[in-house]
Amino acid sequence: MITIYSLSLKIKKRQILKNINIEIQNGLAYGLVGNNGCGKTMLMKCIVGLIKPTEGKVVADGKIIGKDVDFLEDVGLIIENPGFVSFYSGFRNLKSLAYINNKIDDNKIKECMKICGLDPELKLSLKKYSLGMKQRLGIAQAIMEDPQYLILDEPMNGLDKNGVKDVRKILLDLKSSGKTIIMSSHNASDIESICDVVFEMDGGEII
């Protein structure tokens, strides 16, 4: 479980987040909605540990993020644009990332790529991938190590109709298996079809 206590964030005198108090229970999907600049991405970065809040704290499974642990543990994420090596193939990119934790083998990487609609044998370099293919690779990267938590900032970005359908099914299957999902989307139907709880944000606050 993740609990956010009185979290506020100020950057260069600008108030980005204001007194956020929410509880994220395991096995459910949570949606963050709101206009651009409302604070969704910054809140995700605070939850993960990429940004330290000015006030308040994030507690995950009894550990304070940024104090007891540097980052949220057992998490897969897409925040803003997925970053990959442009001259590597999709498989080589994921294999390079998998070396960090050394938890999965090549077969697992290939399985996740296929689940996400990608051919792991494709030798095409990432710079020649379409936006939708890059997004699918980002989803594969997020799920390949079977994390408990998924933090997904606009996971449908750049996907065509079939891609959106595929990713919705992937996320629903993961939720059914007990994973915890926090996601943002500008598409109300994405949120409605996947999320159990929706938080609307405006001006850095939950409204």
**Co-location of 106 and 130 in the same domain:** yes
Answer whether residue 188 shows pLDDT above 90. no
Res 158: pLDDT: 86
Contact 167, 193 (CB under 8 A): no
d(CA 172, CA 118): 19
d(CA 35, CA 123): 38
Q: At what angle do helices 106-115 and 90-101 cross, to 10 degrees?
A: 130
168: Cβ contacts below 8 Å, ≥ 6 apart: 190, 193, 194
User: 67 Cβ partners below 8 Å, 6+ apart?
Assistant: 57
139-151 confidence digits (pLDDT tens): 999 999 999 999 9
Using one digit for the tens of pLDDT, what is the confidence trace for 36-67?
Answer: 888 999 999 999 999 999 999 999 999 999 99
Please tell me whether residues 61 and 161 are part of one structural domain: yes
Same structural domain for residues 88 and 177? no
For residue 185, what are the domain limits? Answer: 1-74+149-207
User: Strand 55-60 and strand 2-11: pairing?
Assistant: antiparallel
pLDDT confidence of residue 5 = 96
CATH of the domain at 24: 3.40.50.300
- How many domains does one find in the chain? 2
pTM listed for this prediction: 0.93
